[in-house]
Structure 1
Amino acid sequence: MKDLLYYQDPMIKEFKAGILRSSVEEDGRPYVVLSNTAFYPTGGGQPHDTGFINNIRVLDVEKVDDEIRHYLEEDNTGLQGEITGVLDWERRFDHMQQHCGQHILSATFVELFDFATVSFHLGSELVTIDLNTEQVTEEQLALVEKRANEIILENRSIETKWVTKEELSQYPLRKDVTVDEDIRLVIIPDYDYNGCGGTHPTSTGQVSLLKIMGTEKMKKNTRVSFVCGNRVLKQLAMRKMVLTEVARNLSVPEEESAVALQKVMKDAKTIEKALGEAQDALLVYEARELVVNCENNVVAINFVNRTVQTLQKLSRAIVVENPELVTLLVSENEDKLQFVAAKGSNNGVSMKDVSSKVLPLINGKGGGNDSLVQGGGEKIISAEILLDEMKNALS
């Protein structure tokens, strides 16, 4: 393990090696095994490297048993003898920045508040750690972020050391190691001592900057999202673009966007409430008209593109106007049929009889009680036929 190139020199970008074996996985992916490699395989929460072997793109790197397999974009038959490997350095250095930032952040949470990291994930956009605490306050996050960036700016050296299990007691480890051999420590002297098989830069200053992006509850833990290095600039650029667009649409300076947006949302809620009240009032007028024109104490009508919620409100308004009535409403919405059936308090018919008869006709699902039912299903019959079947269920 310790002789692997990505451990000997984590800053290596290009290397030469021999091909030990070429083969193809059962899923058809060609791969090669090299005499040594600077390509880091997926492991320990850190994604694999990519790049090129000669002119063939390396798509994935995995450790399988005791060998590291480099999965290629093209057929591997042209690779023979000595090869040149070239890493996608932007990807590798990004992973090193994020992984090292995670060590610093986790150590800082322990230093300041004794919150231990129980899991770590290095994603393509954000990095997350899960802490063994149900709550982290904004004040705590601010203190941790400030302290972590102090450690970064001090440009402390980052050391790696291979030790035996018996030697572990000599180091103040942040957490117990999970292996008994090939134990590799990543050390920020006088700050963090941690067993880790990932790649890291040679000093904390290369992490550049760390920014906590947010938190969320994860059962009894708290997940903290953050970014380091160049990802901070990308996040800043994205947020700047969004803020500029919001400010432009609100016709206010960027620093006033939050207040202006709150006002817009407050006004929108007021308008939405007033619109809802107006729509409800219109439904009452519509209900009165339908009651006047009904026949045989049944209001039966088809609609197009009306929600079940609207049908329910209209049905209730109708039976309030005349508690002797039954109302049968159907709406044709895109590729489905929906219906509501309701009765007034002075009518003894059960609406469950209506839904139980018509739901099988449309492969539908529904629910309700004796006074009101609703349902919906496939448009395998016309709305007119569905309404007729609902009428027949009353007889």
Structure 2
Amino acid sequence: MKNKLFYQDPYIKEFTATLQKQEKDNSNGEWYAVLDKTAFYPEGGGQPFDTGVLNDITVVNVQEINDEIRHYLEAPLPEGTTNISGIIDWERRFDHMQQHAGQHLLSAAFEELFSYKTISFHLGKEMCTIDIATPELTLDEANKAEGLVNQIILENRMIETKWVSKEELSLYPLRKELSVKENIRLVIVPEYDYNGCGGTHPNSTAEVSALKIMNWEKQKKKVRITFICGNRVLKELHEKQKVISELAIQLNAPQASMVDGVKRLLEQNKELEKTVKEQTNMLLEFEADSILSEVEIKGDLNVIGKVFQNRTFSDLQILARNITNTNENMNVLLVLENNEKLQFVCARGKASEINMNMITKRLITEINGKGGGTVDFAQGGGRGTGDIVLQAFIRLVK
């Protein structure tokens, strides 16, 4: 472990090392460097890899493969390079330290308070998640766990790391069974959490700063909890405050009254939608009467065929029903034409005996489409022109 500087001191931001080898990875074609020692943490244990630079060349990935830590580079180091100056992205590293330590505290809280064991952990770029072994989680339980974590954070407890042998494990009340039998590393918050872990953590709980549970969801027999820690809490608060301030301006209401203001807007919107729907239906009734009057002038009382553009399909459906409700003898085809994409609706009045479902099945063969419905009302769609469908409909009905 001597070459893993991140275990000796997770606060090391810069270091010097000797290049042992540089090769191209056959699996992805990327260059990687192996050093005699490194402060770059390789991906593992739920914690993402560090990024940064080696001799001003960007490190894009770090993996431990075949007992060597590979620093994947944006470009290869110059030939003849021996001495390496490494700088890690400290903001990224410290964020990972905060999130990982926060996960330990949260998992311990759920187990201590409710005996809910943690099944898995994911440290994401914006959010973190743990899956806990319970089919349900209440708001009260989530609040109590979050409260306990933040209390432990405020107490500024030390976070200790220890390398122990398999025989020494019995001295510690471990939260879960370990997956390794050698190179055992424990992360300990005294009198609170004892857990095997290979990740990086701050020296005290105070450096986690804060933990906030964002939400949770059921997933079969477990619950997935989304949370954030440390600087992410401040960032989230800043973003939410920005949104709230903008909404307060738009609603012309202080923050305390925003919920009531939104409720009023939603109620007003529902009323407006209801009014628009009523007005639209009235207009469609008038339009149906207008279409019928045009047909009567022509003397054709049995068939109506019409092509529309720039309308909604629901308008055509309502129009067809209005027409057939007004005239029981009428057979109607209304087509919505959008370039070569077609939608159509067929309807019949109560006195008609023409099977609109059968008509639709014949029509869709003309436009290589799909459709169906009942003997009274059917619809379909495909590709072609409205005139093709109209001509076919008239031919089939007459």
Asked whether the 8 Å contact 1:306–1:333 carries over to 2, the reply is no
Shift of 1:285: 2.4
Taking the aligned partners of 1:376 and 1:79, their CA distance within structure 2 comes to: 68
Taking the aligned partners of 1:301 and 1:79, their CA distance within structure 2 comes to: 80
Residue identity over aligned pairs, in percent, reads: 49
Shift of 1:207: 0.5
1:191 aligns with 192
Asked whether the 8 Å contact 1:355–1:373 carries over to 2, the reply is yes
Q: Specify whether residues 60 and 363 from structure 1 end up closer, same or farther in structure 2 by C-alpha distance, changes over 3 A only.
A: farther
Q: Specify whether residues 79 and 250 from structure 1 end up closer, same or farther in structure 2 by C-alpha distance, changes over 3 A only.
A: farther
One-letter amino acid of the structure 1 residue matched with residue 168 of structure 2: E
Taking the aligned partners of 1:280 and 1:365, their CA distance within structure 2 comes to: 28
Of residues 346, 352, 362 in structure 2, which corresponds to 1:347?
352
The answer on 1:316 being equivalent to 2:317 is: no
Asked whether the 8 Å contact 1:305–1:334 carries over to 2, the reply is no
User: After superposition, where does 1:1-395 map in structure 2 within 5 Å?
Assistant: 1=1, 3-26=3-26, 27-78=28-79, 80-294=81-295, 295-333=300-338, 336-378=341-383, 381-395=384-398
Taking the aligned partners of 2:201 and 2:212, their CA distance within structure 1 comes to: 18
Asked whether the 8 Å contact 1:2–1:162 carries over to 2, the reply is no
Gaps of 5+ in 1: none
Q: Specify whether residues 38 and 341 from structure 1 end up closer, same or farther in structure 2 by C-alpha distance, changes over 3 A only.
A: same
Taking the aligned partners of 2:377 and 2:391, their CA distance within structure 1 comes to: 18
Instruction: Name the SS of the counterpart of 1:293 in structure 2.
Output: helix
Asked whether the 8 Å contact 1:300–1:329 carries over to 2, the reply is yes
Structure 1 stretches of 4+ with a deviation exceeding 4 A read none
Between Structure 1 and Structure 2, how many residues are aligned? 393
Taking the aligned partners of 2:127 and 2:339, their CA distance within structure 1 comes to: 39
* TM-score normalised according to structure 2 size: 0.93
Shift of 1:329: 0.9
Shift of 1:334: 6.0
Asked whether the 8 Å contact 2:3–2:38 carries over to 1, the reply is no
Taking the aligned partners of 2:181 and 2:350, their CA distance within structure 1 comes to: 76
Taking the aligned partners of 1:210 and 1:174, their CA distance within structure 2 comes to: 20
Deviates more, 1:14-23 or 1:327-336: 327-336
Q: Specify whether residues 77 and 393 from structure 1 end up closer, same or farther in structure 2 by C-alpha distance, changes over 3 A only.
A: farther
Taking the aligned partners of 1:335 and 1:14, their CA distance within structure 2 comes to: 64
Taking the aligned partners of 1:255 and 1:129, their CA distance within structure 2 comes to: 33
Asked whether the 8 Å contact 2:366–2:388 carries over to 1, the reply is no
Instruction: Name the SS of the counterpart of 1:252 in structure 2.
Output: coil
Asked whether the 8 Å contact 2:333–2:393 carries over to 1, the reply is yes
Deviates more, 1:334-343 or 1:266-275: 334-343
